[in-house]
């Protein structure tokens, strides 16, 4: 098993979740979000450094609206440049810190609760690499363990090994690629494709009703 990796932490380390806006309690829904072409500008040459991170218009506001509507946010991103030997985990950590900062600058509610990535080369056919659902599986279990104060018991399960799964009927996956949609469907979540040049702002009104 080639497991997902987690931004700035070991995969199964305790996750300290920040409160949801207005201190609302969590109803169990998670927004699984792809990164490039959803939160920040997509590049056919990858995003290779913090300087290349450029959030898409209103992506911070969209993430904030999801959290204000009660979603926990779990980013799930394929990062094969690591497996291809182009750069390393430390570079990706800097990229993700920059992304987090830019989103928060746009809207203080735009917190990424958990960022998971797959560093593997496509030829490795990792369960953690979309279109496989391994990152979504891990994301659900990590967030739920944190919410339920059961992090000490956390043993992340994948595929057929994970038998008793919670319903994902109120969760969503947003991505710009077919592989995102496939991963979402395999996982059993409502998967929504956005325009790669617009990102999450393209579809946010379909997920969170606009007030007033
Ligand atoms: Mg993408």
CA of 177 to the centre of ligand 1 (A): 6
| pLDDT for 212 | 56
User: Across all residues in the chain, what is the average pLDDT?
Assistant: 97
Q: How far is the CA of 32 from the centre of ligand 1 (A)?
A: 12
Write the pLDDT tens digit of every residue in 28-67. Answer: 999 999 999 999 999 999 999 999 999 999 999 999 999 9
The tokens of 100 are what? 């987090």
DSSP for 145-194? HHHTT-GGG-----GGG--SPPP-TT-EEEESSHHHHHHHHHHTSEEEE-
34 classed as catalytic: yes
The confidence score (pLDDT) of residue 210 equals: 86
> Hey, what domains does the chain have and what are their CATH numbers?
5-9+25-207 (3.40.50.1000)
DSSP 8-state class, residue 54: -
Separation of CA 209 and ligand 1 centre (Å): 24
Percent of the chain with pLDDT over 70: 100
- What H or E segment, with its residue span, contains residue 140? helix 134-147
Give pLDDT, residue 191.
98
Give the pLDDT band (50/70/90) at residue 84: very high
169 burial (CB, 10 Å; 0-12 / 13-18 / 19+) is exposed
List phi, psi (to 5°) of 27. -90, -5
Pair of tokens at residue 80: 């094969």
**Per-residue pLDDT for 1 more than 90?**
no
* Residue 202 annotated in active site: no
- pTM of full prediction above 0.95: yes
Kindly tell me if the per-residue pLDDT of 100 is higher than 70: yes
**From the candidates 36, 109, 113, 180, which is the catalytic residue?**
36
How far does residue 130's CA lie from ligand 1's centre (Å)?
10
* Catalytic residue (choose from 34, 107, 113, 180): 34
Which whole number is the average pLDDT over 180-199? 98
Sign for the CA dihedral angle at 97, 99, 105, 107 comes to negative
Ligand 1 centre to CA of 29 (Å) is 22
């Amino acid at each position: 098993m080639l497991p997902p990796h987690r931004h700035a932490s070991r995969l199964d380390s305790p996750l300290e979740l920040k409160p949801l806006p207005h201190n609302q309690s969590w109803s169990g829904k998670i927004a699984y979000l792809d990164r490039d072409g959803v939160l920040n500008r997509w590049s056919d040459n990858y995003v290779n450094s913090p300087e290349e991170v450029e959030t898409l218009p209103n992506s911070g506001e969209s993430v904030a609206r999801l959290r204000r509507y009660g979603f926990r946010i779990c980013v799930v991103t394929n990062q094969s440049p690591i497996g291809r030997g182009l750069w390393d985990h430390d570079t990706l950590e800097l990229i993700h810190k920059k992304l987090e900062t830019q989103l928060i600058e746009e809207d203080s509610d735009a917190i990424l609760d958990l960022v998971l990535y797959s560093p593997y080369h496509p030829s490795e056919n990792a369960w953690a690499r979309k279109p496989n659902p391994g990152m979504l599986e891990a994301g659900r279990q990590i967030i739920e363990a944190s919410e339920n104060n059961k992090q000490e018991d956390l043993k992340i399960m994948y595929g057929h090994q994970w038998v008793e799964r919670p319903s994902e009927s109120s969760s969503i996956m947003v991505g710009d690629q077919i592989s995102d949609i496939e991963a979402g469907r395999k996982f059993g979540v409502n998967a929504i494709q956005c325009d790669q040049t617009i990102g999450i702002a393209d579809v946010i009104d379909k997920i969170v009703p606009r007030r007033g």
